[in-house]
With several copies, the nearest count.
Chain A
Amino acid sequence: MTKLRMRQAVVHALADELECDPTVILLGEDIGAAGGAFKATEGLQERFGERRVRDTPISEMGFLGASVGAAATGLRPVVEMMFVEFIGVALDQLTTQAASFRYLSRGSYAMPLTLRAAVGGGLGFGCQHSQILDHWFRGTPGIHVVMPSTPQAAYGLLRAAIRSDDPVVVLEHKALYGERGEVELGDAGIIPLGRAATVTTGTDVTIVGLGRTVHTAVAAAAGANWTADIIDLQTIKPWDRACVLESVSKTRRLVTVEENSAPAGWGADIVDTVVGELWGNLSAPPHRITAPHIPIPYAQSLEDRYIPNAIYVHEQVTTLLDTGRRPAPWWEGRV
């Protein structure tokens, strides 16, 4: 085990895949000598050369499209999108082209494309550089979506993503890049796609988090008068039904915690599934904790309030357990 920051874990994952598979290449803006806007590719160009670690012009449609073509013809491109919002100028190549390439070619072409993107709020980047936007990808068949919560998950999920023969979107929360954790490197550290991880076990409620909200949930549970199965979803699509259902079968209560607003957040599909599968076996309505449906404000006090924090999650869960009813969100009456 090695103690690493999440950004370093990403570097390690990329280096290990570059090392063991000569078809892996990296593309992105300023990922070479500069090591990436979040320094998650630091040192890789020096080590693997300019052919395999390529700085691109500011042409997201162009280099994402080129990655689609490269993936179809024998490379395993890993694309860095500096901020997930930038995919808004290139979405077609992911959700229309990459996603259906295998299908339309009846499996002749594989699509081992990995798209890494920095996501999430809390750092004052403003409303156009702080979203999660997993909903842009979640509705498209043929694509997998993962989001690590720890350096280990960043390492393990990214390696699995690169090895997958399908397009995988890896959403890295920018507030976690600096966080440290022990990482098991090497093949043993790889985390298969599609599997959630149970972070803590408890009896009263199942809390499902993703990326940063896993930590929020853990902090919310500390010192609470309830105990929780806290599940780190890890893969948003396809999410791990077996893990979540098994836990909620036991706890009879579900709370999802996400940094998205409600209308297209990932929690809804989980609530829906749990309601369907465990109808009659639930002691409280499954509950989603989200952010309000407003652009992410810049000023610190506002942004801090926007993102669900541990105190809020603690209150929400406690009320749910106490009353058996869903508590109102903090912004009720404001919208």
Chain B
Amino acid sequence: MSKQLQRRSELSTDLGRWLRMVEIRAVEECIQGLYTDGHVRGSTHLANGQEAIAVGIASIIRTTDTVTCTYRGHAFALALGISPEAVLGEICGRAIGCAGGVGGSMHLSDRTVGLMPTFAIVGAGVPVALGAALTAQTLGTDDIAVAVFGDGASNIGAIHESMNLASVWKLPVVFVVENNLYGEYSALRTTTPTDDLAVRAAGYDIPSLIIDGQDIDVVRASTIEAVARARSGQGPTLIEAKTYRYSGHSRSDPATYRPDGELALWMARDPIDIASKALSSTVIEARRAAVLRDVQEAVATVLRSPPPELSAAFEHVTSTLGPDA
């Protein structure tokens, strides 16, 4: 079994899921430092605070299912099974990165765990997820697709078209909107007339659920329901997971636009804390330390590892005709 599949299978227990959330949080905490030290270029988007959604979903779906996710994709990448080395390697532009260092933070992927290259254009991944669902429907497999997007993305046309299309064609797809209350620096209420986004599902005759995205058991339960509907040919479901990103939108955003106290309120409902309740505190402390050590080691490995060869830039541009010469 590959390392990624092994990692994915670890999500079958409460402890395994909790540890993955811990790992995600730790990896993201390293990124800020790597950025400051000049190892991360461009932009990078942390999902700290949103770990329960990624891990909850990853723990339910199969590796032959497909996930399309956004630039805010570290959590999903790690949850689905990509290793910290491959994620951090990509973010730092190293050959060991999951895209060999040519993609960067916004384009993490690994087909063996079902993660398409994460999408840097808002909304773009949603119709693409429909396509994976269409393949399953056409070939008669019972694989499904999960399309993850943000509250801000809800206002882009691609998502409207996708909801309608998925409903008319009864595609096996689960729409997951991570409603973290902000799209970049804009609060939801300034860009969207309703507080809940799930209300739109009715216009497409799609069943919807509004859930607490901070509680992994809630995420899992609603995912089970939506996935069952999809696999059994009953079509799409929209899950709106209320959540929060602790950091700003991207590495350059101090998030001063948030009202005082809002962050604290959400941190009081931290998904890792919530999930820890079910676990014995002695066990988890030891295991947490191991995870943190592994993440530190991954960082060290990445920093020791070389950038891609120049030839990597010329590979995989097209299939047969060479690099589109």
Question: B164: which A residues are within 8 A, CB to CB?
Answer: 57, 59, 62
Please choose the segment from A10-18, A102-110, A268-276 that sits at the chain B interface, where 4 or more of its residues have CB less than 8 A away: A102-110
* Interface bits A40-84 vs B (CB < 8 Å: 1, else 0): 000000000001101111111111111111111111010000000
| Residue of A62, A124, A129 touching B130 (CB-CB under 8 A) | A62
Interface centre among A102, A193, A306 (most CB of B within 10 A): A102
Q: A30-B186, A66-B134, A69-B127 in contact; A58/B152 too (CB < 8 A)?
A: yes
Contact between chains at B124 and A65 (CB < 8 Å): yes
Q: How far is the CB of A308 from chain B (nearest CB, A)?
A: 15
Contact between chains at B121 and A128 (CB < 8 Å): yes
Contact between chains at A102 and B313 (CB < 8 Å): no
In the bound complex, how far is the Cα of B319 from the Cα of A110, in angstroms?
8
Contact between chains at B120 and A129 (CB < 8 Å): yes
Question: A249: which B residues are within 8 A, CB to CB?
Answer: none
Please choose the segment from B259-267, B271-279, B304-312 that sits at the chain A interface, where 4 or more of its residues have CB less than 8 A away: B304-312
Q: A75-B134, A125-B42, A142-B317 in contact; A302/B102 too (CB < 8 A)?
A: yes
B161 lies within 8 A of chain A by Cβ: yes
> How many residues in B have their beta carbons less than 8 Å from beta carbons of A?
82
Q: How far is the CB of A295 from chain B (nearest CB, A)?
A: 7
A86 lies within 8 A of chain B by Cβ: yes
In the bound complex, how far is the Cα of B130 from the Cα of A191, in angstroms?
32
* Interface bits B122-152 vs A (CB < 8 Å: 1, else 0): 1110111111111111110000010000001
Q: A34-B184, A89-B123, A129-B120 in contact; A238/B321 too (CB < 8 A)?
A: yes
B157 lies within 8 A of chain A by Cβ: yes
Question: A108: which B residues are within 8 A, CB to CB?
Answer: 109-112
Contact between chains at B99 and A104 (CB < 8 Å): yes
Q: How far is the CB of A103 from chain B (nearest CB, A)?
A: 5
> How many residues in A have their beta carbons less than 8 Å from beta carbons of B?
84
In the bound complex, how far is the Cα of B103 from the Cα of A142, in angstroms?
15
| Residue of B139, B153, B323 touching A294 (CB-CB under 8 A) | B323
Contact between chains at A62 and B128 (CB < 8 Å): no
Q: How far is the CB of A78 from chain B (nearest CB, A)?
A: 13
Question: A128: which B residues are within 8 A, CB to CB?
Answer: 106-107, 120-121
Please choose the segment from A91-99, A148-156, A218-226, A320-328 that sits at the chain B interface, where 4 or more of its residues have CB less than 8 A away: A91-99
Interface centre among B101, B103, B136 (most CB of A within 10 A): B103
Contact between chains at A59 and B316 (CB < 8 Å): no
A299 lies within 8 A of chain B by Cβ: yes
In the bound complex, how far is the Cα of B155 from the Cα of A63, in angstroms?
11
In the bound complex, how far is the Cα of B192 from the Cα of A123, in angstroms?
32
In the bound complex, how far is the Cα of B251 from the Cα of A125, in angstroms?
12
Q: A96-B124, A125-B42, A126-B42 in contact; A73/B66 too (CB < 8 A)?
A: yes
Question: B116: which A residues are within 8 A, CB to CB?
Answer: 69, 72, 101, 105, 109
Q: Which residue in chain B gives the minimum CB-CB distance to A22?
A: B139
* Interface bits B42-71 vs A (CB < 8 Å: 1, else 0): 110000000000000000000000101000
Contact between chains at B42 and A97 (CB < 8 Å): no
Q: A238-B325, A334-B311 in contact; A34/B185 too (CB < 8 A)?
A: yes
Contact between chains at A141 and B134 (CB < 8 Å): no
Interface centre among B129, B164, B311, B321 (most CB of A within 10 A): B321
A184 lies within 8 A of chain B by Cβ: no
A2 lies within 8 A of chain B by Cβ: no
Q: A30-B184, A56-B165, A298-B102 in contact; A66/B42 too (CB < 8 A)?
A: no
Q: A75-B138, A89-B121, A238-B325 in contact; A97/B107 too (CB < 8 A)?
A: no
Q: How far is the CB of A77 from chain B (nearest CB, A)?
A: 8
In the bound complex, how far is the Cα of B319 from the Cα of A237, in angstroms?
14
Q: Which residue in chain A gives the minimum CB-CB distance to B102?
A: A297
Contact between chains at A64 and B102 (CB < 8 Å): no
Contact between chains at B191 and A299 (CB < 8 Å): no
Question: B129: which A residues are within 8 A, CB to CB?
Answer: 69
Q: How far is the CB of B305 from chain A (nearest CB, A)?
A: 11
| Residue of A54, A293, A299 touching B307 (CB-CB under 8 A) | A299
Contact between chains at A59 and B185 (CB < 8 Å): no
Contact between chains at B191 and A69 (CB < 8 Å): no
Chain B, 205-250, CB within 8 A of any chain A CB: none
Interface centre among B101, B121, B123 (most CB of A within 10 A): B121
Question: A62: which B residues are within 8 A, CB to CB?
Answer: 127, 130, 155, 157-158, 161-162, 164-165
Question: B66: which A residues are within 8 A, CB to CB?
Answer: 69, 73
In the bound complex, how far is the Cα of B159 from the Cα of A58, in angstroms?
11
Question: B103: which A residues are within 8 A, CB to CB?
Answer: 104, 126-127, 298
Contact between chains at B139 and A57 (CB < 8 Å): no
Question: A61: which B residues are within 8 A, CB to CB?
Answer: 127, 157-158, 161
Contact between chains at B165 and A57 (CB < 8 Å): yes
* Interface bits B180-213 vs A (CB < 8 Å: 1, else 0): 0001111000111000000000000000000000
Contact between chains at A335 and B313 (CB < 8 Å): no
Q: How far is the CB of A234 from chain B (nearest CB, A)?
A: 14
In the bound complex, how far is the Cα of B137 from the Cα of A25, in angstroms?
12
Q: How far is the CB of A272 from chain B (nearest CB, A)?
A: 15
| Residue of A56, A70, A124, A125 touching B131 (CB-CB under 8 A) | A70
Closest 3 pairs between A and B when the two form their complex, measured CB to CB: A69-B131, A124-B41, A65-B127
